[in-house]
Amino acid sequence: MAKLDKPTLTVSDIAKKHQSTVAAIKKQLAMGRKVEREHTSNAAAADEIARDHLGEKPDYYSKLKKAHLEEDEDPCWDGYQQYGMKMKGGRKVPNCVPKKKKKINEADAVDMDRVLAAFRKKETGSYDGDYASDAAKRTHGKMSASGAYQFINKTWRNTTKNLGVGTEYKRAVEAPKEVQDNVMRSSLQKNIDKYGLQGAVNVHYTGNPEGRLSHKAAAANRGQNSSTYYKDFEKNMADYDEYKKTKVASATPSTTSTATSTSKPPEPVERPTVTSTATQTQAPSKVTSAEMPGDSASDFVKKQLKVAEETTMNEERAIISEAIESIIDNRLADMKEQFLAALNEKAMMKLDERKQEIAESMFED
């Protein structure tokens, strides 16, 4: 008799394995012996082959009989699939192997941006996170947690080593924002696939998926256990959408539509009125001594100089008025020229004042 690679179960073992009765297995075995004897003359080998089949599927021969041995019928039981043929008892039989269940990557179904933000909110009090947070400074070296996700130094070094990311930074706080996020994201994805979301949260907080926390660690975290931590984390997850709406609203500048607005046109600029009398007052003409009235020469000169002074002031006002109009019309070049002219007129007025003083001194008695 050919020796098989694996031990063959007894009838009672088969019944116990599939939670069936011994009588039912014996009935199947009788059917199996008959079928297998068609392929071998060795009764013991036929019995062993039949029990091997029944050990994998307790109703194997009932289904085989129902299929009438059709080639296109699946010879394997539920949850199994044929993967070629194998030699068993000196003959080829279908090689039935368990169907591979498609692994569900739970991390793909999780909004990782939301998860990371919830951790930042929990660890540093802000969804944006305080990437420069350093517990060592606050506790004078008693605690080493740092960064937006509060990695303790030892955990940070082990995690970066296992992931092959951020190993050049000895502490989380030394790593830039992008590296801290990348390390946390990669670590979470790995642990979520293994333990689910809550298990991954527990691993980050306590170091194990069950959420066990030593007395020393609990004291360092002010008695907060893993259940309380996870509840806070879930609340942060739930509130994240509202935070994003608020952030977007505050960052968006308000725009006022002018399509339906009925705003009034701008009021015209009222220009200051400066009355020019430059054309009304004529400059004094030259007068000879024969034309002088009964006044003295000194009085006559004084009158003439006064008229000249008034004329100069009027001309100066006119120039300044033009300069103001240029300012209103935004004609800067003209404005400059007009103010220079006004300054020149002022200088001429000072010169005339000096002339008046000289003339008065000449006609003094």
Report yes or no on 273 lying in a domain.
no
**Could you tell me if residue 283 is inside a domain?**
no
Same domain, 140 and 203: yes
pTM as predicted:
0.42
Domain of 163, CATH number, reads 1.10.530
What does the pLDDT read at residue 100? 63
Tokens of 128: 């944006």
**pLDDT, position 275:** 42
Q: Please name every residue paired with 87 in a beta bridge, in sequence order, or none if there are none.
A: 92
**Burial of 349 from C-beta contacts in 10 A (0-12 / 13-18 / 19+):** middle
Specify the pLDDT at position 284: 42
186 and 242 in a common domain:
yes
Residues 48 and 76 in one domain: yes
Classify residue 6: in a domain, yes or no. Answer: no
Give the residue from 98, 114, 137 where a domain finishes: 98
- 190 lies in some domain: yes
- Residue 164 maps to a domain: yes
| 276 inside domain | no
What lies within 8 Å, CB to CB, of 71 at 6+ separation is none
State residue 330's pLDDT score. 58
Q: Is 112 a member of any domain?
A: yes
Position 218 scores a pLDDT of 74
121 and 188 in a single domain? The answer is yes
**Do 128 and 60 share a structural domain?**
no
CA distance 15 to 57: 11
Question: Which domain-ending residue is among 213, 234, 249?
Answer: 249
Domain interval for residue 83:
11-98
Count of the separate structural domains present in the chain: 3
Residues of the chain with confidence (pLDDT) below 50: 1-2, 69-71, 102-104, 256-263, 269-295
